[in-house]
Amino acid sequence: MKKFTKRVEDFVCANCGTHISGNGYTNHCPKCLYSRHVDNNPGDRLSDCGGMMRPISVETIKDGYIITHKCEKCGKTIKQHSSPNDDIDTIIEISSNPDFIFGK
Ligand SMILES: [Zn+2]
Ligand SMILES: [Zn+2]
């Protein structure tokens, strides 16, 4: 296997299958906004939980949105900044329906 180091992470969303090109800022899916529980605090990558994190609420702020993710495995919640290419329709869905589950 080829060894390589990269600073940004490309990944495939385990919830909806979207391919995400990492930009070094986001670890959530721009389409369904699911995230993975890999951080204890945003960006530190210190958690080994690995559970799927469901977007449960959205707060509007001056320069975007704060998305609250809840881990479906351990129940931890983490707030994250939205990123500019997040799907605005999904953000609106979540903010108007706290029980929103993508694709269901
Ligand atoms: Zn997704
Ligand atoms: Zn977790």
Angle (nearest 5°) at CA 96 between 94 and 100: 40
Residue 39's pLDDT is 87
Q: Where are the alpha helices (DSSP H) in 1-104?
A: 88-96
Find the 49 Cα to ligand 2 centroid distance in Å: 5
Residue 103 belongs to some domain of the structure = no
Q: Which residues, by Cβ under 5 Å, contact ligand 2, an ion?
A: 37, 49, 51, 71, 73-74
Find the 39 Cα to ligand 2 centroid distance in Å: 9
pLDDT, tens digit, for every residue of 15-61? 999 998 876 666 789 999 999 999 888 778 899 999 999 999 999 99
Distance between CA atoms of 55 and 34, rounded to whole angstroms? 6
Residue 3 belongs to some domain of the structure = no
Give the range of the structural domain holding residue 61, as residue numbers without chain letter: 11-96
Residue 67 belongs to some domain of the structure = yes
Total domain count, the chain: 1
Residue 101 belongs to some domain of the structure = no
Residue 92 belongs to some domain of the structure = yes
Find the 71 Cα to ligand 2 centroid distance in Å: 5
- What percent of the chain has a predicted confidence (pLDDT) above 70? 82
pTM of the model: 0.79
